[in-house]
Structure 1
Amino acid sequence: MTTKRGFTTTILHDDRLGKPEHGSLHKPIHTSVTYGHEDVQDLVDIFQNKKKGYAYSRQGNPTVTALEHKVTNMEKGMASIAFSTGMAAISATVMALIKHGDHIVASSFLFGNTRSIFQTYTDMGLDVTYVDATDVQNVRNEIKASTKMVFVETIANPATQIADLEAIGDLCAEKGIIYVVDNTMTSPYLFNPIDVKASLIINSLTKYIGGHGNALGGCVTDTGLFNWIKFPNIFETFKKQVKPETLGLTQIRKKGLRDSGGTLSPEAAHSISVGAETLALRLERASNNALALAKYFESHPLIKKVFYPGLESHPQRERAAKLFAKFGALMSIELDESIDCLAFLNKLKLVVKSSNLGDTRTLSIPVAQTIFFELGAEKRAEMGIPESMIRLSIGIEDLDDLMDDFKTALA
């Protein structure tokens, strides 16, 4: 009988239970680009998907495989593929599965870079419709015969809208549409998208899973819930080579990872894998800090609005409480018109002015002037992003020190 272990215990011992050489507790860093085989038939079989193994590190490496296994366990999925960044995971997934003329329904609150790559694909002939995904009816209204994918995020960055995740999952299951959920802002510790019938799960490993701002990475996880046999865009070659349930990931690995070359380095994979061991501990602390700060900000006269799912004032607060273990560490604030947001940020001494998320340190950035600058004022307004918005990724510092830094800056 298999013992069911807790989240952190499972991550901590995942490498060791795979029995790395010499009794190592971590999978070693395998730096070889290519792999030799005594029998050339083994090499042929690997190329033809007849057996597992390694031929060339652009599409597979033992250190990266160990990380993929760890993420799969965290997401309770079937299998995963790691990439050099979260954006590489997103772009490769769309590139591998969606063809010219196909239709995608996407949340109108998508992160700026995700929206940017979707625009690139639109220019190449894909049909993308953006909707307010906080209400499933908006998604349903745009479904048509050519719709092949629905793409949403758990908590939108930076305005923290929460998609109607359960109802959209039911809709996609009803229609036989690939349901992609970007879980970056919640991470597998706070939420498992398999519970809302997601087909594929995206994680930027750079953020909470890696957690220390020292390695880029991304991942796509197949939950095993989607019937790839019925999906019309699967290449006939793969149908003859692999098991039906692995068709989606096989195509993403071959046509996405291999062809686009968004390969995760073994050094980065190792850093992310070690960082993941403390995911639960870090996110507990950061989420608690975030909730306390959000309540303080909401009561401050110089802060016009606070965007945080843990506040009673948040429109999807009840949904967040039902779905997520905690409300996360991402929030944004809108300052009073009398305050210059850049001048305010410069008064912060402990909080780092930075564009990353999910670090152990608290990070801040003016949204309209940086990460959403390219969209223009009109698009920002449509996405609920005011010009004086500041995004905060709350870290694991002592709460009193964070509070003092913000109080001093606001004074």
Structure 2
Amino acid sequence: MSKQGFTTRQIHADRRLNKPANGAVHTPATTSVLFEYTDAQDIIDVFQGKQAGHVYGRSSTESMQALANQINDLEQGVGAVCFATGMAAISAAVLSLFKHGDHIIVSQYLFGNTRSLMNTVSDLGIQISFVDVTSLQAITEAYQPNTRAVFTETIANPATQVADIQAIGRYCKEREILLIVDNTMTPPPLFNAKASGVSLVVCSLTKYVAGHGHVLGGAVIDTGEFDWSGFNNISPAYQVADCTQWGLTQIKKKGLRDMGASLSSEAAHKIAVGMETLALRMQRACSNAKELALFLHNHDKISQVYYPGLADHPQHFIAREQMLTGYGAMLSIDLAEHIDPIAFLNKLELVICATHLGDTRTLALPVAPTIFYESGPQERAQMGISENMLRISVGIEDIEDLITDFTQALASL
């Protein structure tokens, strides 16, 4: 059979990759915490990594592994590990792979919780340099002999700065350092991380992948683009025969087993089912976002629209080159100075005021006093976040209804 399309592969991924028992098309939720071995040698071999298997629900279950297989297939990697949340995935990757004295170059536009994590990591002795990742020169100038990685998002949340992943990927390969990319905002089929030279993909499965605002999850995916044999931080215990698995093995052992941020089997099942419609939802949400961005861009009560799909966006041409099927489904706006953002949000009838993104429903919230409140005015300014910015995660409603809602809310003020 010829190569199948993205949605076809996703719909059939569970039964194709995992082969559930009794002809089921979905892997069932595995609720057992423990697993019996009739031959004691088998449990020894599983513990020592000599054969595949499950020994304890904190580390793995059939449901967790089935989802990891599907997520890995999504990114065309060499393996994946799933976690209870996206932040757990990021924390596990960073704390498992880096140690006191290492240096990481980090995007200055990171989402608030991730930036907070990086500050915590800095307190532990891992050096962090926040730089403008839209400039390759800024990254090269930040490089130090102890630099081990660059960490960035594809599109920043909420001000939508776009990192030049392809240029950064080439640079990291030359320097033989990791490129870790948070791909939450632009999951496949929007962005091909492997083709852009990304070493590790981290993401929140809660958002677009699951898609319905009803389950938490996260993942780390190894694209196979990094040579772990030259990475000095891998423990000898995790230097298995296949060196492509060294990084993931250490993340799984240190970041999942030891730290315990395990994804429940019920959550894994929900994420896997939601993922089947990822491409369809992303196509509709991206189309809606672009139309809404154009409408707001031309409205006299909007002073600024932040969306990579607009021609006047500072990184529009980078986004156009990197993105495959759209510019993402999130945008942010600054209202005209005389308009109260809170009053505007309260006038919206269809759009939900909530802290989440990647949902089927359109969501909006004020950025500075909520998700970036802890950052303070000076840090927010460095990140391109205005004090009156509103973030809008565009859903899959009929675009006419969304524009009608924004029109009536703006007209009432």
- What range is the shorter-chain TM-score in? over 0.9
Q: State the alpha-carbon separation in 2 of the partners of residues 312 and 347 from structure 1.
A: 29
- Taking structure 1 as reference, are residues 3 and 61 closer, same or farther at Cα in structure 2, changes over 3 Å only? farther
What secondary structure sits across from 2:319 in the alignment?
A: helix
- Cα distance per residue 1:301-351 (max 9 Å; x no partner): 111100000001101111111111201101000011111111110000100
Q: Which residue of 2 aligns with 1:250?
A: 249
Supply the distance in 1 between the matched residues of 2:241 and 2:302 (Cα, whole angstroms).
56
Question: Residue 184 of structure 2 aligns to which amino acid in structure 1?
Answer: T
Kept in 2, the 8 Å contact 1:76–1:192? The answer is no
Matched with 1:204 is 204
Shift of 1:15: 1.3
Letter in 2 for 1:292: E
Q: How many percent identity over aligned positions?
A: 51
Q: 1:242 to 1:262 in 2, by over 3 A?
A: farther
Shift of residue 3 of structure 1?
A: 3.9
Contact 1:49 1:242 in 2 (8 A): no
Code of the residue aligned with 1:61 in structure 2: it is T
| 1:37-76 correspondence runs (5 A) | 37-76=37-76
What's the offset of the Cα at 1:143?
0.7
Distance 2:58 2:3 in 1: 34
Instruction: Tell me the amino acid that sits aligned with residue 170 of structure 2.
Output: D
For 2:282 and 2:385, locate their aligned partners in 1 and report how far apart those are by CA, in whole Å: 25
TM-score by length of 2: 0.98
Q: TM-score, normalised by structure 1?
A: 0.98
* Residues 91-142 of structure 1 deviation map (CA, whole Å, 9 limit, x = unaligned): 0000000000100000000000000001001111110000000011100111
Is structure 2 residue 315 aligned with structure 1 residue 316?
yes
CA contact (8 A) 1:185 1:328 kept: yes
Q: Is 1:387 aligned to 2:391, yes or no?
A: no
In structure 2, what is the Cα distance between the partners aligned to 1:272 and 1:82? 11
**1:361 aligns to 2:350 (yes or no):** no
- Specify the SS of the correspondent of 1:391: strand
Deviations 1:166-202 (A, max 9, x none): 1100010000101101110011220121111111001
Q: CA RMSD, aligned part only?
A: 0.8
1:73-92 to structure 2, matched below 5 A, reads 73-92=73-92
Partner of 2:274: 275
Which residue is equivalent to 1:216?
216
Tell me which amino acid in the other structure corresponds to 2:376: G
Q: Work out the CA distance in 2 between the residues paired with 1:403 and 1:287.
A: 15
**Shift of residue 149, structure 1, vs aligned partner:** 1.0
Q: Which is further off, 155-164 or 321-330?
A: 321-330
Cα distance in 2 for partners of 1:59, 1:176 equals: 30
Distance across 2 between alignment mates of 1:236 and 1:30: 32
CA distance in structure 2 between the partners assigned to 1:394 and 1:24 by the alignment? 34
Displacement of 1:245: 1.1
Q: Secondary structure at the match of 1:187?
A: coil
Structure 2 counterpart of 1:115 = 115
Distance 1:3 1:150 in 2: 37
The residue matched to 1:190 in structure 2 has which SS? coil
CA shift, 1:242, in A, is: 4.0
Q: Partners of 2:90 and 2:139 in 1: how far apart?
A: 20
User: CA separation in 1, counterparts of 2:106 and 2:258?
Assistant: 25
SS at match of 1:387: coil
Whichever residue aligns with residue 76 of structure 2, its letter is K
Q: Deviations over 1:256-303 (max 9, x none)?
A: 111111111011111110000000111111111100000010111111
- Equivalent position amino acid for 1:288 in 2: S
Question: Quick one: distance in 2 between partners of 1:286 and 1:42?
Answer: 48
Task: List gaps (5 residues or longer) in structure 1.
Answer: none
State the alpha-carbon separation in 2 of the partners of residues 249 and 231 from structure 1.
13
Q: Which amino acid aligns with 1:308?
A: Y
Residue type at the aligned position of 1:206: T
Counterparts of 2:267 and 2:241 in 1: how far apart (Å)? 29
Instruction: Work out the CA distance in 2 between the residues paired with 1:4 and 1:70.
Output: 17
Residue pairs, 1:123-134, within 5 angstroms: 123-134=123-134
Is contact 1:50–1:242 with CA below 8 Å preserved after alignment? no
> Which runs of structure 2 are paired with 1:97-246 in the superposition (5 Å)?
97-239=97-239, 241-246=240-245
Q: Output the CA distance in 1 between the equivalents of 2:28 and 2:237.
A: 34
**In structure 2, distance between residues paired with 1:3 and 1:218:** 32
Aligned to 1:301: 300
CA contact 1:341–1:390 (8 Å) conserved in 2? yes
Mapped partners of 2:317, 2:41: distance in 1: 57
Distance 1:183 1:192 in 2: 10
Give the Cα separation in 2 of the matches to 1:10 and 1:349: 37
- Structure 2 alignment gaps of length 5 or more: none
Q: Distance in 2 between matches of 1:270 and 1:196?
A: 30
Tell me the equivalent position of 2:258. Answer: 259
Displacement of 1:369: 0.7
Separation in 1, partners of 2:161, 2:168:
15
Task: Please name the residue that 2:344 is paired with.
Answer: 344
Cα distance in structure 1, aligned partners of 2:15 and 2:236:
38
What SS is found at the alignment partner of 1:202?
A: strand
Matched to 1:309, the amino acid is P
CA contact (8 A) 1:81 1:220 kept: yes
Counting only pairs closer than 5 Å after superposition, residues 11-22 of structure 1 correspond to structure 2 as: 11-17=10-16, 18-22=18-22
Secondary structure, counterpart of 1:160 in structure 2: coil
Question: SS in structure 1 opposite 2:189?
Answer: helix
Distance 1:388 1:33 in 2: 48
- How far has the Cα of 1:406 moved from its partner? 0.4
* CA distance in 2: counterparts of 1:364 and 1:305, whole angstroms: 16
Q: Distance in 1 between matches of 2:355 and 2:204?
A: 14
SS class of match (1:390)? strand
Moved over 6 A (4+): none
